[in-house]
Amino acid sequence: MPGKNVHRMSSHELLEVECPSCRAKQDIVIWKSLNVTRDPELKEQFFTGKINYFTCGSCDFEGFITAPLVYDDMEKKICANYVPIEYLEDEEYLKQSFTPDAEIRLELPDDTARIAEMDYFRHAHMVFSMAELIRYVLFRDRLGQVFSEN
């Protein structure tokens, strides 16, 4: 069923990942969404590049996992989505996650105030690398700081 509402929760799963370099397998926690208003400690991990980062226990390979990630700051109304370029091949993922106009697909409530509140989430900023996701959030946080100083 399309229109799954994944809004407002941090979520993760434990997955077995194969090292792209040496093929050794290890379990890693993969975050699908970060709600930094509810889970502020995740934000620190996110900024220091610890979220969805794979460090191989058998060789010296390390790097970000190729998995979509939603960053949601309800308080500041900042939402950004990392879409790995490989996922453009995944029709199911695209259809379930987005509308044809690249909005986030959501089950909207009947309540107009709630719909307005979710507007920033529906119009999430899309990025295609984890590094860019981190930079974009830094940029938005910095703008928030600069404009609240006066």
Selection from 57, 61, 49, 59 nearest residue 28 by Cα? 57
> Which CB atom, from 61 or from 98, has the smaller least distance to Zn ion?
61
Say whether residue 19 binds Zn ion (CB under 5 A): yes
Say whether residue 55 binds Zn ion (CB under 5 A): no
Say whether residue 138 binds Zn ion (CB under 5 A): no
Q: Please report how close the Cβ of residue 50 comes to Zn ion at its closest, in angstroms.
A: 18
Q: Please report how close the Cβ of residue 133 comes to Zn ion at its closest, in angstroms.
A: 24
- Between CA 145 and CA 54 the distance in angstroms is 32
- Between CA 67 and CA 57 the distance in angstroms is 20
Helix/strand/coil for 41: helix
- Only segment of 25-33, 39-47, 53-61, 110-118 that touches Zn ion (CB under 5 A): 53-61
Say whether residue 61 binds Zn ion (CB under 5 A): yes
Pairing of strands 69-73, 78-82: antiparallel
Say whether residue 129 binds Zn ion (CB under 5 A): no
Identity of the residue numbered 92: E
Say whether residue 58 binds Zn ion (CB under 5 A): yes
